[in-house]
Homo-oligomer: A and B are copies of this chain.
Amino acid sequence: MEMAKMIRVTVWNEFRHEKKDAKIAALYPEGIHGAIAKYLRTQEGLEVRTATLDEPQHGLSDEVLNSTDVLTWWGHMAHGEVSDEIVDKVQARVLAGMGLVVLHSGHFSKIFKKLMGTTCDLKWREIGEKERIWVVEPGHPIAAGLPEYFEIPHTEMYGERFDIPAPDTLVFISWFAGGEVFRSGCCFHRGAGKIFYFRPGHETLPIYHQKEVLLVIGNAVRWAAPLGGPKVTFGNVKPLEAVSAS
Which residues from chain A sit less than 8 Å from chain B, CB to CB?
1-3, 43-45, 91, 95, 97, 114-119, 121-125, 127-130, 132, 134-141, 143-148, 153-154, 157, 159-163, 165-166, 168-170, 173-181, 183, 188-194, 222, 226-244, 246
Which of the residues B119, B168, B175, B183 comes within 8 Å of A136, measured between beta carbons?
B183
Across the interface, do B143 and A229 meet the contact criterion of CB distance under 8 Å?
yes
Across the interface, do B191 and A147 meet the contact criterion of CB distance under 8 Å?
no
**Distance (Å) between the CB of A52 and the closest chain B CB?**
25
Across the interface, do A191 and B139 meet the contact criterion of CB distance under 8 Å?
yes
A72 to B138, CA, bound (A): 21
Across the interface, do B144 and A243 meet the contact criterion of CB distance under 8 Å?
no
Across the interface, do A232 and B161 meet the contact criterion of CB distance under 8 Å?
yes
**Distance (Å) between the CB of A181 and the closest chain B CB?**
5
Across the interface, do A144 and B241 meet the contact criterion of CB distance under 8 Å?
no
Given A116-B117, A161-B232, A239-B179, residue A192 in contact with residue B138 (CB < 8 A):
yes
A244 to B234, CA, bound (A): 28
Across the interface, do A170 and B179 meet the contact criterion of CB distance under 8 Å?
no
Across the interface, do A163 and B232 meet the contact criterion of CB distance under 8 Å?
yes
Across the interface, do B163 and A95 meet the contact criterion of CB distance under 8 Å?
yes
Across the interface, do A246 and B128 meet the contact criterion of CB distance under 8 Å?
yes
Given A1-B44, A3-B3, A161-B135, residue A240 in contact with residue B117 (CB < 8 A):
no
